[in-house]
Amino acid sequence: MKKLMHPALLLAVVVLAANCGTAREQIRTQSKTLCEGIFCEVTTSDGPPPGYADVVIKASLKTHLPGEGALLESGSSPHGGPFYHFTVNVDGQAVTWKVPGQRENLPVVKDRDSQDEGDGMRYALGKKIRLRAGTHQIFLGVREKNTAKTVIVNLREGASSTLEFRPIYPRYKWGHPAFRLGFLGFSVWLDHTSIN
């Protein structure tokens, strides 16, 4: 049995390292703008003009506070740090937003499975962009987590939609809030409908 464990453990480490490297390279590549004029950030509440659509891009995740991580975590770990960087690329136009962390301490409630209960640092992105109505490829990457997700969305003319990247954590275990057990990636929702 021991002889089988070593190769399996080695394989798991190699796959994990390969996935991290792939996401890191994707984020690096997608953070470069290849074309301009695809979208612009909107800070007003007025709706889109004819031929255009608005989309609010939301993404959030929660981490443990600095110094509360695993024994193998280095002192330069970004977990609980002051900022995370969220890169968004729409059809070749890229922007990276520096999102500040906000300390959050949600109460633990017995018999409730909460992914976010407990003390930690929340990083929440919320940006409204305007672009031509139609089909678009939207990429989101978070370099501190080495995670990336790409989706295709179809935006209706005149519509104001919400594209939400929700965090996926390991399964909740009583006494161990899910966000403390790691981060697996994002599920994606367009106007409350899953588009994974």
The whole-angstrom separation of Cα 6 and Cα 86 is 36
Q: For residue 62, with 0-12 CB atoms within 10 Å meaning exposed, 13-18 middle and 19 or more buried, which class applies? A: buried
Are 119 and 147 in contact by the 8 Å Cβ rule? The answer is no
pTM of the predicted protein model: 0.79
Q: What is the pLDDT of the chain when averaged over all its residues?
A: 82
Please determine, for residue 160, whether its predicted confidence score (pLDDT) is greater than 80: yes
Please determine, for residue 149, whether its predicted confidence score (pLDDT) is greater than 90: yes
Count of other CB atoms within 10 angstroms of residue 134: 14
pLDDT digits (tens, 9 = 90+) for 30-86: 878 788 999 999 999 999 999 999 999 999 998 888 766 554 455 566 766 899 999
pLDDT digits (tens, 9 = 90+) for 169-183: 887 666 666 777 778
